[in-house]
Structure 1
Amino acid sequence: MQRLRIIAVLVILGSLAVLTSCGLLKGNRSDVEDKNLAKPLSFTIVYAKDNLLHKQGISSVIGAFEKSHPNIVIDEVNETWTGSYGEYLKMKEAVGEFPDLVEMSETQLFADAGLLYEIPGDLVNLLQPAPEVIGRFYNLPLELPAPQGIIYSKAVFRKAGIAAPPKTFGEFIEACEKIKRLGIDPIVVGAKDIGHMEYWVNKFLIDEVYIHNPDWNAQRSEGKVSWTDPAPMKAMNKLASLWGLGYVAQGFVATSDNQTASILVSGQAAMLFSGPIMFNLIKAADPSFEYGFFALPDDNGKINVAGAQAPVGWSISAKAALDPDKLEAITQFLHYFYGEDQYPRYLQAVNGIPSTNVEIDYPLPEAMSSVFRVLDDPKTGKSMFMDRFSGRNIPPPQFSDWFYQTAQDWLTGNTSVEAAMKEADRMWDALKQ
């Protein structure tokens, strides 16, 4: 087992920041907690639940917090939803039920609408802050970005005569062909969850578009580029080729992200495109399963990943911040979440990379060494998902969800890539109004 060690950055100062609040209520933190014991407090919380271990990691910290803070009740909004998590949050806001504390990815959209509160300084000082949005910090990152890549069965690779991970996209296609000849599906895709399609779509958009032109979104809004241009067309045609060549397991539209791990370990498929968060699900499905990880290269062997930090993470609602007692309860929880006892438990559940400025030490699976090699290689290109850009590069509201869902239409043969990309131009212009 390898162990992750993030060097402390002024640990004493970090600890001091925990003890010294920025004065949300008068008195030190102990005085505030003693005062609150006589007055029950509560707040609502919503977070993405696409991955079971992510859900379990957060929920376990909430349970521990409520036991140690009996005066505070956290209401986990647990109803299920169809479509994307972002659309669900917009629906909650529309019906007047926007949560007090929320895991947020479309930060600028909600900040521009006045729904988010600037993160207090005592919390910002504990973490490596997410990028600013309109000059302010609205997020506490749950973890630093870890790259998606191919998680593969070492046994199937050996059986297919694949001695090492492919060095180019062409070699990856050759590996898929060798695996297909064995009667095994080369790739399993969990397209029932839009987040899984988001991985695949953005992999090729990063390779062909964003790594070369980080301002592509802004230029699209200005009418200077088009979805039918050679670069985005090449990206989506490469994605479609994996389906067209028969490398993706059938039934992908009905397969959930969480099901992909069991399909991989059962030997039905050889590869899964995801991130380190899946390692623990694979271990739970079969502790003896041998797997490896590699970043999917482009045509020239260049590695590009979604490794640039984006403004995502915990956000506090502006409405909740109007109530000093509620704001104090939320702040107490966030200090607790990132504390020495609880934060490692969350990180271990998801194999996350710490976002705090203090030393974190916890066991990691062997495959994480490959993840860190990708991140630490100075030649690795780092970008972000289409909908994680901010400022002038923020895409129109709802466009990214539409695009990820529309990808299924050309992958299932209900439309062509060419027709879908023409429609993408029309949809972008319609939604940006």
Structure 2
Amino acid sequence: MRKELTIIFLLLICFCGYAQNATIVNLKVQGNKKTKTSALLKLTSIKKGQQLDSLVIEDDIKRLKRLSSIAHAYYQVHKKSGGYEVVYGVQENFTIIPSANIYTTNDDEFAFRVGVYEFNLFGHNITFGGVYQNDIYSSYGINFRAPYLFSKKLGLALNYNNLTTEEPVFLDNGTADYKYNNTSYEIQGLYQFNLRHRIELGVNYFNEDYEYKRGSTQEGIPQDFDVDKLLFKGIYEYNNLDYHFQYVSGFKSSSNLQYVVSTENVLPDFVIGWNDFFYYHRIGEKGNWASRLRLGLATNDDSPFAPFAVDNNLNIRGVGNTIDRGTGVIVLNTEYRHTVYEKDWFVLQSNVFVDGGSWRNPGGDFGDFGDTQNFRVYPGIGLRFIHKRIFNAIFRIDYGYGVTEDSTNGFVFGIGQYF
């Protein structure tokens, strides 16, 4: 109620003839300890000497609440001699965060990923850290992301990854297992037009190394090859989400388009693109409905190395680790999150979900999306253990049970909401 009254008060100031006296004579930030005040003021749209505008202030608060370093943000307006003082108050997150993901199925598959990240390096909302993964073989990566490095709108990201896994390759006469290594170097430019619209443009140089281990073979499919590639990528995001601790409301859309150039004919050049639509809705005081729809297509080459994977950690909880591939994807994840218990910093949240999706076979047509062999539905339940004062400190446990043809079931553990 206090927030609504403050907004009404500011609107009256702006539109009832007092605008000439509604000058901001002072702007300050309170509650921040690690995050630099200069870093926060750099992101605000209102400035000292400007006219008071409640809509601009509301957008500033939304922007602050999206920062990794901020758990919650609010504002106050005080009458001063000659105008008004605006105070932005923040509650900071703890931002040195370990990460962990564990995947299992009833086929005794086991893989894990652990890491540690600092999401507020030097108090300037810079992310830096790395991960280690064991999925039969060891892998690691190092990431740097500074979205406000050069200005309020312009930033930079650098990534290095050395990923090694055992990948199934689906041939006409069976399945082959390959040891797969991907070593990549990436640089991205980050630009934010305003609170809701941003883009990323980047280039990635990487090497793919496939080594045949066991299983079927097929004429024309090499057993060992090493390929250098160049990837050009563009990301556009519309984000109108509003956060209140563990609750999220609003809509977001993220489009990703990539063009991959190969140095070897065995893996031809291709284009891949997908769009993720997110919708979140508050239900009562303790409920949150969340949904994600992914639509994606790639160059439809008849190749066993198709880019879209069916995987526990990506799209279908309980399905297994990379059990199929395709050149097109339609996936819907929808779930209801309910706060079972909340006291001070701790939240226990229950989760009921349904993950479903279908894939286009390499070289196939759009009719493949309706083929029962490509269609998978996995309902399930889960729990979330949430620390409200630590960024992304959500430990999740989900159990998915397949109800479609040749289904499996299994647990998926991780840090952060699934989407």
More strand by share: 2
**Greater relative contact order (Cα < 8 A, sep 6+):** 1
TM-score clears 0.5: no
TM-score normalised by structure 1 residue count: 0.22
More helix by share: 1
TM-score normalised by structure 2 residue count: 0.22
